[in-house]
Structure 1
Amino acid sequence: MRFIFVCCMLLSFCMFSQEDTRAKQYFKKGEYEKAKISYQKLLDNRPNNIIYINALAETLQQLQQYTKVDSLLNQALTAVKYPAFLIEIGYNFQLQNDLVKANENYEKAIKSIEINTSYVNSIAKTFQDHSLLDFAIRAYEKATALNEDLDFTIQLSRLYGEQGNIEKMFISYVDFIEKEPIYKDDLKRIFNDFLSEDPENENNIILKKTLLRKIQQNPDLIWNELLSWLFIQQKEFNKAFTQEKAIYNRKPESLNRMEQLASIATAQEDYATATKVYNYIIDTTQDTDTKLNAQYNLLQFKTKLAPEKDYKSIQTTYLKLFETYGTQTQTLKLQIAYGHFLAFYLHQTHEAEVFLKKTLKLKLKDQQKAEIKLELADILVLQEKFNEALIYYTQIQRSLKNSVISQEARFRVAKTSYYKGDFKWAESQLNILKQSTSQLIANDALDLKLLISDNKYEDSTQAALKLYAKADLLAYQNKPKEAIVVLDTLLQNHGIEPIAEQALYKQAKLFEAQKEYSKAENNYLNLIANNKDGLLTDDAYFYLAELYKDKLNLPEKAKSLYEYIIFNFSDSIYFVEARTQFRILRGDAINQ
């Protein structure tokens, strides 16, 4: 008997759930008569269900049966004692353009808060659902006036924002942070929806002024932190640095925030500010690891940016650091970087090998040994000593199985085989790496695998693919001019083969690195003209737009290309950035 009862209950619940779904679907499709019947059935089973009362009322309003709505809601108000129904009754009058009766009911709803302040949540939400924001604000304010323990700052702030009263919204949120600083990061995410990268954007200016007023009224470090954050959003890293110094001077506990700022400035290519911040860290910290890490990061982008005549100065910096701190495990990152610098920039490959092999004799963990061997193997590839390089890569794979560095070593085995022209072995390794736990390695492996598989059957000698691999190796060897020449040969002899698209694109990137921007532009235009449905067409549009925007100072041309991506490449990885850049060039306030 009990089993039968349970089965009946489950069957009843299932049928009820189906009716609920059916009612929603009817309403969504605009089949309001059918929705009305379904919601009435649901309400007959649960006569005091607020959701079904409101749903039926909304359905009847769509059918313009306002008298029935009024009767339904008044009966519900008597039965359920749910004051938010007063708003629904008022809104029903509003739909009939009877604003007097509408406002009478809205006022009754607000007055009901005097009976019980807990009514405010449903009342304010119902006002908000009908975009009656002034009434929603009054509801929260009334409840707060009646009970000082209630705090609706967040809800009110959100409503001010919906009203478009940005200044009042920021002031309210900032006041809330003053009371509840633990919510600072949550509110940053909210602020971000109203801010732009443009420092002159009105909303940005309002928030900055609000925070500056707070600093004057109550010089708490949280305001400096928020100002720093705002300046970072605006890419004014030097101004952020000023705030970070003020924070550190008053609270010299950690330089982590400084390190984060330097890292962000570097990523955004504001090397001048990054240099200032790293030098500040070096001059300020008493911690050797922090100092060495700053030196390492500083040397990385200095090397990248330096003309060849400055390489000796960079080498001197490395040698002075080793003289001061020694060639021990504490300076391991710097030693690996120096080995790379010797080989790839000074072209002193033998000296680099000797130096790193000496480093390998230190008392090291397996991970540290692997990092040195990876660099050593890369230097051997640079010299085209492929077999020796493969030995080191294989040792890494064996010593640290399934680790990220092991997968990186496997990828470089594949890349080395590809440089050698052993495309079959390279492809077999890349097939394994497509499943790598590192998404970056998996993506790189897939790209190289597709390059090989798409082009290895074009001719029996694989001449075009070998030329492309040779150009790739020259680019790796930091010989961009030689790589460009090889790609020219490929394009002249194999210009109608599919790999020509890859060659044009790679050559364009090399031209950009050489600051030969007009040649890069020609390559991108060639790609666009001759490969309308090519794999790299969206890349060509995007990077040509970037070239016009950042290097050739042709913003209107850039804007039209970003717009083209928006309308023609909605599934492209560049879609979001193209839309953002288009809106910036058009003068929009981003994130609003």
Structure 2
Amino acid sequence: MRSLLFILVFCYLQFGFSQDDFLAKQYLNDGAYEKALVFYEKLVEQNPRRTDYFEGLIECHQQLENYKKAEEFLLKKINAGNVYPVLFVELGYNFTLQDMPEKALVYYDEAVQKIEENPNFGYGVGFRFQKYALLDYAIKAYTKAMELNPELDFNFQLARIYGEQGNISKMYDSYLELIVIGRSSKSNVLRNIDDFITEDADNENNILFKKTLLQRAQKNPNVLWNELLSWLFVQQKQYKSAFTQEKAIFKREQGSSLLRMENLGEIALGDHALEDAKNVFGYIVENSHDPVSRLNAQLNLIDIDLLDADSKKYDSVQKKFEKLIAEYGYQPNTLQLPIAYANFLTFKKETPQPAIDILKTSLELPLNKFGEGYIKMALGDILVFDKKFNEALIYFSQIQQKLKNDVMGQNARFKVAQTSFYKGDFDWALTQLKVLRGSTSQLIANDAMQLSLLISDNSLEDSTQTALKKYARADLLAYQNKTKEAIGALEDILQNHKGEKIEDETLLKQGELLESQKDYEAAKFNYQKIVEFYGNDILADDAHFALAELYRNILKQPELAKQHYEKIIYNYQDSYYFPQARKNFRVLRGDSIN
């Protein structure tokens, strides 16, 4: 019975203590300092060694301008002996708040002096100086501690402080030292340096970083400096210079992987720096001993050839594919080759049957479920192109069943919905899309929502679904790369279904196709029409983003691009395009982007 009574009393006291702790912090955060003070006085009395409680008490006194009481409390703590030097910083700051700098400096110096007794005090003292933006004193604390004990490393803290002070040269040195001594990863350091680097190679910070790296490379040659220079050149979109650094790295590290080179080629290709990308991939083909890397580079070179190729060049491209098939054959680790060849035969040469045969042959290989899904997805796409919808649905459904918890499975389900849409089975398409709106992939979820709304909105208004069937046909034509026919089919909807719900979807789709045909003025007209007449509807953010990208990348009118990005930032904060719009807007405004 006594044990039970003891447990009950103990639990009651613990509950009361926890409640006091919670209320003290809550009142402090809410700015109710008088109420918070009551609880902190009680907590400090009960737990005199808890630093967070006496810091809360001091803050309450200072916010209420009870500076004398804060001073008395701190002096009492200091005079008690075995003093933690952070208390000197607190006392000094108490005088700073009273505009008494001379007295404040005495205690700040005392705090730094205490580090000589124990260098481990350096972090706590330096951090407290940082908290109160006393950056010069924070530097003194950190550097003194490191001088007294070389095992301590506060370069990361120093780098952040130098950055805040605008002392970029010292910031770079501190960050680079972290990598050299192995106290921080290169990627972590570059994330912080990236705040100060822009795309402009003539930017003062860019020039200084390049100079710092070159000086270090001269004093202590190391591939690290080549890697960092390559990173800088990539940020500046100087891919040729980055390529030079990557070649130097590869030559110095004989037998090393060409993965960095592959990444550079992909970045250059994605940024449409085609000549630079060709040079990088060409180098990989000549120097790689890994057949998969070499094949990927060869396929990328073919992709570059196809960007501006017409039907006259297709024969030479086909010979390249045939040569690669003869060299690599059909293997489980090079599935990208038959898929790329099949897509070329289908979507470029419009000969789907040999492509289907190639992929069905590939399915006979010993594949795991992901390899099998990879082939079946490509095969399904080609069967859709060939209007063999039912067979395509079988393959997509098989992937969906075997990989239901993977993104590939979700993508297959979307393709089931899309194929059903092309087929005119709108009800089954909607059934699949409702599941996908909760997809873990935001892109799939967004596409599913768009297609779902297209079907549902245009089924309620028109029970015969005439316009929707026309749109599905036009969408299929676009999928088949019959772009001019698709544009014409969409124009038929715009002329014969004016004012209907489907008009904004039709304008957007036609605008995208016109843009792919480089008819930029016509595309711009379509997007502007959506913004003007459908500004409150679901596709308004799509139109604003399309216009912004068009003005930014093609028409070279950055001010107009900024206007449309800004519309998304302020009016469509739940838009899929919001993060990219905000980033692009800041780039155009001249901000440093992390």
Q: TM-score scaled to structure 1, two decimals?
A: 0.93
Q: 1:209 to 1:416 in 2, by over 3 A?
A: same
Structure 1, residues 208-237: CA drift from partner, whole Å, max 9, x if none? 211111111111111111111222233322
Q: 1:579 to 1:289 in 2, by over 3 A?
A: closer
Does 131-140 or 383-392 show the bigger shift?
Answer: 383-392
Tell me the amino acid that sits aligned with residue 63 of structure 2. Answer: Q
Q: Which residue of 2 aligns with 1:219?
A: 221
Q: 1:361 to 1:96 in 2, by over 3 A?
A: closer
Q: Which residue of 2 aligns with 1:5?
A: 6
Q: Which residue of 1 aligns with 2:353?
A: 350
Q: Which residue of 2 aligns with 1:430?
A: 433
Q: Which residue of 2 aligns with 1:459?
A: 462
CA contact (8 A) 1:160 1:168 kept: yes
What is the alpha-carbon distance in structure 1 between the residues aligned to residue 233 and residue 302 of structure 2?
Answer: 26
Q: 1:36 to 1:437 in 2, by over 3 A?
A: closer
> Is it true that 1:203 corresponds to 2:208 in the alignment?
no
Tell me the amino acid that sits aligned with residue 137 of structure 1. Answer: I
Does 549-558 or 392-401 show the bigger shift?
Answer: 392-401
Structure 1, residues 341-389: CA drift from partner, whole Å, max 9, x if none? 1121111233333444454555655654554443333333223232343
Structure 1, residues 281-322: CA drift from partner, whole Å, max 9, x if none? 101112222211221233234324423432222112112222
Tell me the amino acid that sits aligned with residue 121 of structure 2. Answer: Y
What is the alpha-carbon distance in structure 2 between the residues aligned to residue 60 and residue 41 of structure 1?
Answer: 14
Does 242-251 or 376-385 show the bigger shift?
Answer: 376-385
RMSD: 2.4
- Residue 120 of structure 1: how far off its partner (Å): 1.9
What is the alpha-carbon distance in structure 1 between the residues aligned to residue 369 and residue 124 of structure 2?
Answer: 61
- Residue 9 of structure 1: how far off its partner (Å): 2.5
CA contact (8 A) 2:467 2:493 kept: yes
Q: 1:318 to 1:492 in 2, by over 3 A?
A: same
CA contact (8 A) 1:48 1:76 kept: no
Q: Which residue of 2 aligns with 1:135?
A: 137
- Residue 159 of structure 1: how far off its partner (Å): 1.9
Q: 1:541 to 1:170 in 2, by over 3 A?
A: same
Tell me the amino acid that sits aligned with residue 156 of structure 1. Answer: L
> Is it true that 1:123 corresponds to 2:99 in the alignment?
no
CA contact (8 A) 1:194 1:203 kept: yes
Residue 7 of structure 2 aligns to a residue whose secondary structure is helix
What is the alpha-carbon distance in structure 2 between the residues aligned to residue 420 and residue 133 of structure 1?
Answer: 67
Aligned residue among 387, 390, 402 for 1:384:
387
Q: TM-score scaled to structure 2, two decimals?
A: 0.93
CA contact (8 A) 2:446 2:576 kept: no
Q: Which residue of 1 aligns with 2:573?
A: 570
> Is it true that 1:49 corresponds to 2:50 in the alignment?
yes
Q: 1:412 to 1:157 in 2, by over 3 A?
A: closer
CA contact (8 A) 1:123 1:139 kept: yes
Q: Which residue of 1 aligns with 2:249?
A: 247
Aligned residue among 487, 495, 510 for 2:490:
487
Superposition map of 1:165-176 within 5 A: 165-176=167-178
Does 164-173 or 224-233 show the bigger shift?
Answer: 224-233
Aligned residue among 165, 184, 187 for 1:185:
187
What is the alpha-carbon distance in structure 1 between the residues aligned to residue 531 and residue 196 of structure 2?
Answer: 36
Tell me the amino acid that sits aligned with residue 122 of structure 1. Answer: G
Residue 127 of structure 1 aligns to a residue whose secondary structure is helix
CA contact (8 A) 2:299 2:337 kept: yes
Tell me the amino acid that sits aligned with residue 303 of structure 2. Answer: Q
Tell me the amino acid that sits aligned with residue 72 of structure 2. Answer: S
What is the alpha-carbon distance in structure 1 between the residues aligned to residue 497 and residue 184 of structure 2?
Answer: 62
Residue 537 of structure 2 aligns to a residue whose secondary structure is coil
Aligned residue among 263, 266, 271 for 2:266:
263
Residue 114 of structure 1 aligns to a residue whose secondary structure is coil
Aligned residue among 265, 277, 284 for 2:280:
277
Tell me the amino acid that sits aligned with residue 454 of structure 1. Answer: D
Superposition map of 1:283-432 within 5 A: 283-327=286-330, 329=332, 331-360=334-363, 367-394=370-397, 396=399, 405-432=408-435
Tell me the amino acid that sits aligned with residue 69 of structure 1. Answer: A
What is the alpha-carbon distance in structure 1 between the residues aligned to residue 107 and residue 331 of structure 2?
Answer: 79
Does 353-362 or 20-29 show the bigger shift?
Answer: 353-362
Q: 1:435 to 1:222 in 2, by over 3 A?
A: same
> Is it true that 1:65 corresponds to 2:74 in the alignment?
no
Q: 1:123 to 1:324 in 2, by over 3 A?
A: closer
Tell me the amino acid that sits aligned with residue 108 of structure 2. Answer: Y
Q: 1:197 to 1:571 in 2, by over 3 A?
A: farther
CA contact (8 A) 1:53 1:76 kept: no
> Is it true that 1:17 corresponds to 2:18 in the alignment?
yes
CA contact (8 A) 1:201 1:589 kept: no
Residue 538 of structure 2 aligns to a residue whose secondary structure is coil
Runs of 5+ in structure 2 lacking a partner?
none
Q: 1:529 to 1:6 in 2, by over 3 A?
A: same
Structure 1, residues 12-58: CA drift from partner, whole Å, max 9, x if none? 22222222222233233333222222221211212333222222222
Does 185-194 or 67-76 show the bigger shift?
Answer: 185-194
What is the alpha-carbon distance in structure 2 between the residues aligned to residue 419 and residue 555 of structure 1?
Answer: 38
- Residue 547 of structure 1: how far off its partner (Å): 0.4
What is the alpha-carbon distance in structure 2 between the residues aligned to residue 148 and residue 387 of structure 1?
Answer: 71
Structure 1, residues 478-500: CA drift from partner, whole Å, max 9, x if none? 01111111111111222212221
Q: 1:214 to 1:85 in 2, by over 3 A?
A: same
Q: 1:493 to 1:221 in 2, by over 3 A?
A: same
Superposition map of 1:459-538 within 5 A: 459-538=462-541
Q: 1:448 to 1:87 in 2, by over 3 A?
A: same
CA contact (8 A) 2:71 2:94 kept: yes
CA contact (8 A) 2:400 2:410 kept: yes
What is the alpha-carbon distance in structure 2 between the residues aligned to residue 366 and residue 118 of structure 1?
Answer: 55
What is the alpha-carbon distance in structure 1 between the residues aligned to residue 35 and residue 430 of structure 2?
Answer: 60
Q: 1:373 to 1:132 in 2, by over 3 A?
A: closer
What is the alpha-carbon distance in structure 2 between the residues aligned to residue 326 and residue 23 of structure 1?
Answer: 72
Does 151-160 or 405-414 show the bigger shift?
Answer: 405-414
Residue 456 of structure 1 aligns to a residue whose secondary structure is helix
Structure 1, residues 447-505: CA drift from partner, whole Å, max 9, x if none? 32232122222212101111110111000010111111111111122221222111111
Structure 1, residues 395-438: CA drift from partner, whole Å, max 9, x if none? 55567676655554443332222112111122223334445565
CA contact (8 A) 1:228 1:239 kept: yes
Q: 1:143 to 1:373 in 2, by over 3 A?
A: closer
Q: Which residue of 2 aligns with 1:146?
A: 148
Q: 1:120 to 1:379 in 2, by over 3 A?
A: closer
Q: 1:542 to 1:471 in 2, by over 3 A?
A: same
- Residue 82 of structure 1: how far off its partner (Å): 1.8
Q: 1:140 to 1:355 in 2, by over 3 A?
A: closer
CA contact (8 A) 1:224 1:243 kept: yes
What is the alpha-carbon distance in structure 2 between the residues aligned to residue 394 and residue 105 of structure 1?
Answer: 73
CA contact (8 A) 1:508 1:521 kept: yes
What is the alpha-carbon distance in structure 1 between the residues aligned to residue 525 and residue 215 of structure 2?
Answer: 52
Q: State the percentage of identical aligned residues.
A: 49
- Residue 326 of structure 1: how far off its partner (Å): 3.6
Does 295-304 or 313-322 show the bigger shift?
Answer: 295-304
What is the alpha-carbon distance in structure 1 between the residues aligned to residue 183 and residue 145 of structure 2?
Answer: 24
